[in-house]
Amino acid sequence: MIYISWFHSHIPKVFALLSFLINPLFIYLVVTRSKSQVGNYRYLLVSFAIFDIFYSIAEILTPIAIETTTTWFAVFLTDGPFFDNPIIGQLGISSRCAFISQSYAILVIHFVYRYLLLFKPHLARSFFEPTGIAISTAYFVFQGLSWGAVCETCLSPNDEIRKILLPTFVARHDVDSQNIPMLTAVYWNSTSEVTTRGRVGIGLLTLTSIYSIAIYGILGYKIVINIQEKGGLSKKSLKMQAQLFYALLVQTLIPIVGSFTPTVLAWYAPIFGFDAPTWWNYYICTLPLAAFPFIDPLAVIFFIPNYRIAFVNVLLRRDNISSSVNVVNTTSIRRITETVHPNRSSTSQIN
């Protein structure tokens, strides 16, 4: 075990616990609330919540930290069941990194579906048919496998790299880097083969991230324009579309701000001869990654009124989370009854 601090060791576990509590509740809300308004999109919401749960499991199994100097970048295991096995532990880090890429992939799938729903409804209808599901699943799996393959091919350390990292790990953690599971990119002061491999690996990971963000921006812009122009949908449908899009927008900003930006800065700081401060590497680059799985469903809950009301009722420990919705529905029905059949109003009140 490499001990960084109490916060680094325990806060990710707290975030994982919150994820295990919030995501099942979110799945329940999606399944039981607003079926008619959300439609088939609820399947994507549920799939994202299930993914978040597995993401949190990966966080617990492969706790990581980041180290940088003016010449190299490294992400390494600090604890967990794979810590004592450098090979299996390295695969664990690659798999965890693949989860980051797959979170980008899921968001791309969400944006594509929302785009098709507004611009090509006939294609949106086939999105949840076997062919559409197969294409989405294949893209999701490919995104993760390709990211993991880049990590294993370009960022796996050899003996030369471990010797380069040894003085820093001894000085900062009092451990031998030869036996620590890690992924690294050495940019300077090594052989051309080592530096080229690291630069290519980080470059490929960066391109994968940037193309995903570009898709968010392009499709998101078109969706916003369509919603503003109110084309082809009822007022109620447009309102729901806007709520879902704003929730998706926040879901997208969370990984961009919380994982992509700090991670890219840590990747590229050594290229420019800059050694990022330890507080940045240990906390800013890692804790937001652990927070993503439980913050993500909260974004949707906040923007969808039915979800928000039910969620608040659960926090207030009310027995029936649908009470507020039922009250609204009962009041509306009673008013209609009193208007159409005034003689029945007293009877309905007794019942």
How many Cβ atoms from other residues are within 10 Å of residue 341's Cβ?
Answer: 11
| 169-178 long-range contacts, CB within 8 A, separation 24+ | 169/67, 172/67, 172/278, 173/2, 175/2
Residue 350: the pLDDT is 36
Q: What whole-number distance in Å separates Cα of residue 263 and Cα of residue 265?
A: 5
Residue 12: the pLDDT is 95
SS3 64: strand
Cβ atoms of 270 and 184 closer than 8 Å: no
**Could you report the per-residue pLDDT of 26-54, keeping only the tens digit for each?**
999 998 876 666 778 889 999 999 999 99
Would the pLDDT of 335 be above 60? no
Residue 232: the pLDDT is 55
Which carries the bigger pLDDT value, residue 26 or residue 224? 26
Q: Which two three-digit tokens encode residue 77?
A: 């295991």
- C-alpha distances in angstroms, 48 versus 54, 192, 233, 274? 10, 41, 26, 37
Q: Which phi and psi (to 5°) does residue 317 adopt?
A: 60, 40
**Could you report the per-residue pLDDT of 296-320, keeping only the tens digit for each?**
999 889 988 888 888 888 877 764 5
Would the pLDDT of 210 be above 60? yes
Question: Which amino acid does the sequence have at 28?
Answer: Y
Would the pLDDT of 331 be above 70? no
At 246, is the pLDDT very low, low, confident or very high (cuts 50, 70, 90)? confident
Measured distance between the N- and C-terminal CA atoms of the chain, rounded to whole angstroms: 66
All domains in the chain, ordered by first residue: 6-304 (1.20.1070.10), 319-351 (no CATH)
Cβ atoms of 74 and 269 closer than 8 Å: no
Would the pLDDT of 349 be above 70? no
| SS3 readout for 189-214 | CCCHHHHHHHHHHHHHHHHHHHHHHH
Q: Which phi and psi (to 5°) does residue 188 adopt?
A: -140, 165
Q: Which residue has the tokens 């659960």?
A: 314
Q: What whole-number distance in Å separates Cα of residue 239 and Cα of residue 203?
A: 40
Would the pLDDT of 332 be above 60? no
Residue 338: the pLDDT is 43
% of the chain at pLDDT higher than 70: 88
Q: In what order do the strands lie in the sheet with 64-68?
A: 64-68, 72-77, 182-186
Question: How much is the average pLDDT of 207-228?
Answer: 90
Residue 233: the pLDDT is 59
Cβ atoms of 308 and 301 closer than 8 Å: yes
Q: What whole-number distance in Å separates Cα of residue 148 and Cα of residue 101?
A: 9
Would the pLDDT of 327 be above 50? no
Question: How much is the average pLDDT of 104-109?
Answer: 94
Q: What whole-number distance in Å separates Cα of residue 198 and Cα of residue 209?
A: 17
Residue 36: the pLDDT is 62
pTM above 0.75, yes or no: yes
Residue 312: the pLDDT is 87
**Could you report the per-residue pLDDT of 152-204, keeping only the tens digit for each?**
999 999 999 999 999 999 999 999 998 899 999 999 999 999 999 999 999 99
Residue 234: the pLDDT is 66
**Could you report the per-residue pLDDT of 248-260, keeping only the tens digit for each?**
888 889 888 888 8
Residue 270: the pLDDT is 94
Q: Which two three-digit tokens encode residue 308?
A: 């928000």
Cβ atoms of 177 and 164 closer than 8 Å: no
Contacts of 316 (CB under 8 A, 6+ apart): none
- Exposure on the CB side of residue 86, measured as CA atoms within 13 A: 12
Cβ atoms of 23 and 54 closer than 8 Å: no
% of the chain at pLDDT higher than 90: 61
At 328, is the pLDDT very low, low, confident or very high (cuts 50, 70, 90)? very low
Cβ atoms of 258 and 289 closer than 8 Å: yes
Question: How much is the average pLDDT of 112-120?
Answer: 89
At 13, is the pLDDT very low, low, confident or very high (cuts 50, 70, 90)? very high
How many Cβ atoms from other residues are within 10 Å of residue 125's Cβ?
Answer: 13
Mean of per-residue pLDDT scores for the chain: 86
Q: What whole-number distance in Å separates Cα of residue 198 and Cα of residue 154?
A: 6
- Helix (H) or strand (E) holding 18, with range, is helix 6-32
- C-alpha distances in angstroms, 54 versus 20, 31, 290? 9, 19, 12
Give the least confident one: 163-167, 168-172, 229-233, 269-273.
229-233
The DSSP 8-state label assigned to residue 257 in this structure reads I
Would the pLDDT of 280 be above 70? yes
Q: Which phi and psi (to 5°) does residue 66 adopt?
A: -120, 140
At 343, is the pLDDT very low, low, confident or very high (cuts 50, 70, 90)? very low
Would the pLDDT of 347 be above 80? no
